[in-house]
A and B are shown apart, each in its own frame.
Chain A
Amino acid sequence: MSGEISPIRLHKELSRIWGTPPGWARLSAVNHTVVGRRFMLAAFIFFAIGGLLAMIIRVQLATPESTFIGPEIYGQIFTMHGTVMMFLFAIPMFEGMALYLLPKMLGSRDLAFPRLSAYGFWCYVFGGSILILALLAGVAPDAGWFMYTPLSSGRYSPGINADVWLIGITFVEISAIGAAIEIVVTILKLRAPGMSLARMPIMAWYLLVTALMMLVGFPPLILGSILLEVERAFDWPFFDPTRGGDALLWQHLFWLFGHPEVYIIFLPAAGAVSMILPVLARHPLIGHNWIVVSVIGVGFLSFGLWVHHMFTVGIPHLGQAFFSAASMLVAIPTGVQIFAWLGTLMAGRPQRVLPMLFLFGFFFVFVLGGLTGVMLAVVPFNWQAHDTHFVVAHLHYVLVGGFIFPMLAAAYYWLPHLTGRETSYHLGYVSFWLIFIGFNVTFFLMHLTGLRGMPRRIEAYPAELGWETLNLISSVGGFLMAIGFALFATDVTLQMLYGRRARRNPWRAETLEWATPVPPTSYAFASLPVVGSRRPLEDDPDLPRKLAAGEGYLGFARNNWMEVLSVSTGGGDIDHLVMLPRRTFLPLWTALATGVFFLGLLFKLYWLSGIGLIVTVGLLLRWTKGMGLQRDHGPLEIGRGESALAHYEADYPPSRWAMIFALLADGILFGSLAFALLFLWVVAPAWPPADLISGGWLQAFALMAGLGASAMLTRRAIRSGDDATPRERSLLLAAATGLMAVAAAALFFMSVLPDPTRHAYAAVTAALVVYCLVHAAVGVIFSAYGLYRSKTGYVSAARRLDLVIAQHWHDYTFATALIAMVLVLVVPMVMT
């Protein structure tokens, strides 16, 4: 197959297979270039909305006792500013950048799960739209972007506002979890042959750690949101101290997410710095291995800091000291990166170009923010500065410095790649200085405003406290900054519309994304490269031409398959061939159905949610139609005289890894629920409650027996090999025993548990049982689906992927149910 086709014909055939048609068909796009650009565009629109909200805040605070807007609306404005910026701008912006750049940097044609990216995009847009529409309707969330209870509980926030946050954000989080799984699996498996972990671009390390942090960090927030929504809707008192709950439970769950969140935002931007700076400095990155160690260090340490947001809640001093120590520690790996970058600049010959100017802006602003962060890590100082504008100043220095400035640098650096056009720069320089000066005028003085005692989240302040001049100057700075951002948007638009054609690789960078045409084709690479170092374009400057000529792997088009290669996790040796799914409207329909589910919850139309859920599950099953092979193919040619198995016949294809990482996130959510029970038991007032569980051993036994049988029967089905009859019998029995488990869990919930509205113990116990029930029900779907796949010829001894994925689910469900039953049945015995 290789070498038989001209480059032009190869381009046409690959474009036909990988491309997205015009018109309405664009809504069916799953291509990473298209979806990545959409994420970034949508994120920028949300950034503009968040910026407008910031302008309203600054107008309100510019003068004392301002009546520009009232307190109720002001609450919505600052809550939405934080929510939009954190959830609807920062995370999706880096997701978009990752989706667009990763396959190209790694030498692959697309991400591991293209439809998941598209589904995530639509969930993000629909979830974000719910929040914005609520803002326009005057019912936006108004309890602060971190929604502390009891303010956000039903008693003090009786309206729909808080529900909009809880449900809208959870909807958006689906997108984030999906993107995280996508990024992890793509980095671990879909690299170019020869690209070991040691040879992959440094950005891939940053994104790998970030995505793993998302898998671990987002579930506590998802659980917290579910619990708070259940409290508000059904009066289960997780956070009500009068009934055994505790408001601090929300704070722990939120900040367990919230602190890693800010590093999830920072790390991709730091990755961009690590990519851009060496190119513009014309010197390889100094301290590459130390940077990788530092990124891993930040990834872990960021999970040990969360209590520094809670230093004033009454935690024992020694406990605070642990988190104070960890908060100071995290400055070290961050500092290692800063010094590595500075060293690279000093060793190199930095070019005076616009992206470099934004990088200098990053250094200045972010380092200042980091210094005030170390100040806030010191508990006695924190007690003085907590909830003042000093913290507002700090967080903007680290987030704007650590994310916005690098993203602006990245925008100017990679814009020629996206658009195929050059930047004119003149507006860009003006934009930089307006943003830089405006930002520092706004937020530097805010440190003083905070030290003079101005609290956060107040809509007005009296004139005699001496805050008015500082606030007025901050507001002027804010408008300067806004003009700067408007100029940036104008500059980018002008470049896209009128810029001169850019040559490929205008920066003379050495990483693979610059080996594609600019703007890139839908398939990224006409053939896949073999990589021998971290600088493939330096090793072979002629590589782009060779790849376009089909001289790499998969330099052909066959059977309308969208093919990429999967490699071993560490070494980069070719493992198997991956056939990706074609474009489809299914992600859009599925996201719409998911939206119906969430809207039903929001408006308490639970029948509607039920319909939405059933349709969503049905559509997700529909995604698999036509996927897979109905006969064993054995090794298939992949070019260069080599062959590899199709992923359906491989041991660890991407989808199996996706299930493993999805279960990691699920396990963290379960762990958070277990933590909730233990935390409330130890800390909350009014424990133990009067009504404890009595009995339930029979139901628990039936539950565990059903789940255990499902797991064993699925194993037996896999071992049946090519013999369909025993395999299908095992799967049918697995579905039946799964149903038994569901029934047992339902019976447990209805007949054994005390009323969950009476005490938080009953509420959390009920939540644990519901968790088991839901997972048992999904297990039944997996068994039934496996049976269907077997009957339609998609399963054999070699093609057992569907059953193996189900096996992971059953094993996980059994293990967590066992722990849940121990907690539910044994904890009351210890309590009394």
Chain B
Amino acid sequence: MTSGLRAIAGFLIWASALSLLYGTLSLACAWGLGPAVTLAVLLILWLAHLALGGAILIGDVRFARGQDAGFGQRLSLGANAAALGATLFTGLPIVIASPTC
């Protein structure tokens, strides 16, 4: 079960990132925080999730190097790498689009 949870950890982080980014944007618009504050908060959230996803991926790489990588380890590595890429791409609009309401 632990290895199963490890394999989906990256995508859980992606789901958290999407939910928090969208939710925070909605709250920022509702509360009138303004583009600068909104952008700063979103950036922090996004980078924090990227860092977390990266840490999990580094852990997977080290774990896989330390022993013969079985199916579970390779699954974890692939899934968490894909998830990190997804977190990066999903949040990219923050640095491209304007956080206007």
Contact = CB atoms under 8 A, between A and B. Distances in A.
Interface of A: 196-198, 289-290, 292-293, 296-297, 300-301, 303-304, 307, 316-319, 321-326, 328-329, 333, 569-570, 682-683
Nearest to B93: A321
Nearest to A303: B15
Interface string B11-26: 1001100100110011
Given A570-B3, A570-B4, A325 B78 contact: no
Contacts of B14: 300-301, 304
Contact of A289 (B30, B78, B89): B78
A168 to B, nearest CB: 31
B21 A322 contact: yes
Interface string B46-87: 000000000000000000000000111011001100110010
B70 A297 contact: no
A318 B72 contact: no
Given A289-B74, A324-B93, 16 more contacts: A198-B72, A289-B78, A293-B75, A297-B11, A297-B79, A301-B14, A304-B90, A318-B42, A318-B99, A318-B100, A321-B97, A322-B90, A325-B90, A325-B93, A570-B4, A682-B30
6 contacts: A296-B8, A301-B86, A316-B26, A325-B93, A570-B72, A683-B26
Given A682-B27, A683-B26, A321 B96 contact: yes
Contact of B78 (A198, A293, A321, A569): A293
A234 B30 CA distance: 30
Contacts of A325: 89-93
A296 B11 contact: yes
Complex A-B, nearest 6 residue pairs according to Cβ-Cβ distance, in ascending order: A321-B93, A198-B71, A300-B11, A293-B78, A682-B30, A304-B18
A484 B15 CA distance: 42
A184 to B, nearest CB: 12
A751 to B, nearest CB: 32
Contacts, number: 95
A159 B59 CA distance: 59
A322 B91 CA distance: 6
Given A322-B90, A322-B91, A293 B22 contact: no
Which label, helix, strand, loop or mixed, suits the secondary structure of the B interface? helix
Contacts of A197: 71-72
A189 to B, nearest CB: 12
Nearest to B74: A289
A316 B83 contact: no
A304 B15 contact: yes
B75 A316 contact: no
Contacts of B30: 682-683
A300 B93 contact: no
A94 to B, nearest CB: 22
Contacts of B1: 569-570
A303 B91 CA distance: 16
A316 B100 contact: yes
Contacts of B15: 300, 303-304
Contacts of B97: 317-318, 321
Contacts of A307: 22
A296 B7 contact: yes
A384 to B, nearest CB: 19
Contact of A293 (B70, B79, B98, B101): B79
Contacts of B93: 318, 321-322, 324-325
A296 B79 contact: yes
Contacts of B70: 198
Contact of A319 (B4, B7, B22, B82): B22
A196 B71 contact: yes
B25 A316 contact: yes
B26 A682 contact: yes
B71 A329 contact: no
A347 B27 CA distance: 53
A328 to B, nearest CB: 8
A168 B91 CA distance: 39
Contacts of B82: 293, 297, 333
Contacts of B89: 325, 328-329
Contacts of A293: 75, 78-79, 82
- Most chain B beta-carbon contacts within 10 A, residue among A292, A328, A333: A292
A345 to B, nearest CB: 23
Contacts of A324: 93
A742 B28 CA distance: 39
Given A198-B72, A293-B75, A329 B90 contact: yes
Contacts of A317: 97-98, 100
A672 to B, nearest CB: 13
Contacts of B26: 316, 319, 682-683
Contact of B4 (A569, A682, A683): A569
B24 to A, nearest CB: 10
B32 to A, nearest CB: 12
A317 B22 CA distance: 11
B61 to A, nearest CB: 15
Contacts of B27: 682
A303 B42 CA distance: 20
A428 B83 CA distance: 42
Nearest to B28: A316
A85 B27 CA distance: 38
- Most chain B beta-carbon contacts within 10 A, residue among A290, A293, A569, A683: A293
Contacts of A329: 86, 89-90
A318 B94 contact: yes
Contacts of B3: 570
A324 B86 CA distance: 12
A289 B71 contact: yes
A304 B14 CA distance: 9
Contacts of B92: 325
- Most chain A beta-carbon contacts within 10 A, residue among B29, B92, B93: B93
Contact of B101 (A196, A301, A316): A316
A297 B71 contact: no
A610 B22 CA distance: 41
B25 A289 contact: no
Contacts of A292: 75
Contacts of A319: 22, 25-26
A620 B96 CA distance: 55
Contacts of B99: 316, 318
Contacts of A682: 26-27, 30
Contacts of A570: 1, 3-4, 72
Contact of B18 (A326, A328, A333): A326
A118 B3 CA distance: 33
Nearest to B30: A682
B83 to A, nearest CB: 7
Given A289-B74, A289-B78, A322 B7 contact: no
Contacts of A300: 8, 11, 14-15, 83
Nearest to B94: A318
A631 to B, nearest CB: 31
Contacts of B98: 317-318
A318 B25 contact: yes
A304 B19 CA distance: 8
B85 to A, nearest CB: 8
A289 B91 contact: no
Nearest to B26: A682
Contacts of B4: 569-570
Contacts of A290: 78
B69 to A, nearest CB: 11
Contacts of A297: 11, 79, 82-83, 86
